[in-house]
Structure 1
Amino acid sequence: MTFPRPHRARTAVALGTASACTLLALVSCSNGGNGKGPATTSTPPAATSAAPAAARIVIENFAFSPANLHVRPGTKVTVVNRDSASHTVTATGDKAFDTGSIAGDVTATFTAPSAPGSYSYICTIHPTMKGTLTVG
């Protein structure tokens, strides 16, 4: 069966229009679908030591890292002991916090004081290990 030439032209135009619509739909999806140009992405802000979720002290090679940590009042602080020896994170002076003995390869937590200030701490097992927790 043969179509007259005008019909073939209409079929080609109809197929060309359908292809153009499909291409346009794909391009619209690639820019977020808002039709206002390329989509932009934003990088989330980097975590800081002041953020509650980032409050962490790692004990490794008989040292606290970071040795000086800044947190908000009442922040839960995670302590990871990567040494094989036991350690503590114990506030000096008023004893505002104390993890007790943390065995090697164990994680513990404590809650930062609610009063702003600077709290020195040590490992009571190894008193040369020192750090400062600043709450504010």
Structure 2
Amino acid sequence: MLAAIAALSFTTACSDSGGGSTSTNSSRASSTPASAATDADAARITMKNFAFSPVTLTVKAGEKVTVVNDDSAAHTVTASQGGAFDTGSIAGGKSGNFTAPSKAGSYAFTCTFHPNMKGTLTVS
């Protein structure tokens, strides 16, 4: 009887391990959306060493722009004129986003905390 209980426990443990496999497969399934997210992140501004990269970014009207702060200090991406876009404060090591204006044109932007950080968003 004791051997039967031990065998049943072993079988249950093995089936739990199979559940782990299913979880791994789920992770693989979620990697597909991650790939899609990477494609969506093509419109990206990175802030590093108190500079924007790229300095000039071209996007489509209404496109989502991801902003990544790789510095330790907080930064913003703020349109210089007309309030066309503003990320607000993005803490060091964090990210944010904004939607590009719906009107085509060239939009200068800066960091409100560090005015020497400048860039241009071109909307087509």
Aligned to 2:72: 84
User: Which of the numbers 67, 86, 92 marks the counterpart of 1:104?
Assistant: 92
More helix by share: 2
* Matched residue, 2:42: 54
How far is 1:95 from its partner? 1.2
The corresponding residue for 2:51 is: 63
> What CA deviation, in whole Å up to 9, does each residue of 1:58-104 have, x standing for no partner?
00000000000000000000000000000000001101000000000
Tell me: higher relative CO, structure 1 or 2? Use CA pairs within 8 A at least 6 residues apart.
2
1:95 matched to 2:83? The reply is: yes
Q: What secondary structure does 1:54 align onto?
A: coil
Which has the larger Rg? Answer: 1
2:90 is the alignment partner of 1:125: no
Structure 1 ranges of 4+ moved more than 4 A:
none
- Go from structure 1 to structure 2 and tell me whether the alpha carbon gap of 1:103 and 1:53 turns closer, same or farther (over 3 Å shift): closer
After TM superposition, the score normalised by the length of structure 1 is 0.62
For structure 2, list consecutive stretches of 5 or more residues without a partner in the other structure.
Answer: 1-38
Q: Using the alignment, how far apart are the partners of 2:89 and 2:40 within structure 1?
A: 23
RMSD after superposition: 1.1
Which digits, 9 at most, give the CA deviation of each residue in 1:15-46, with x for residues without a partner? xxxxxxxxxxxxxxxxxxxxxxxxxxxxxxxx
Alignment-mate amino acid for residue 55 of structure 2: A
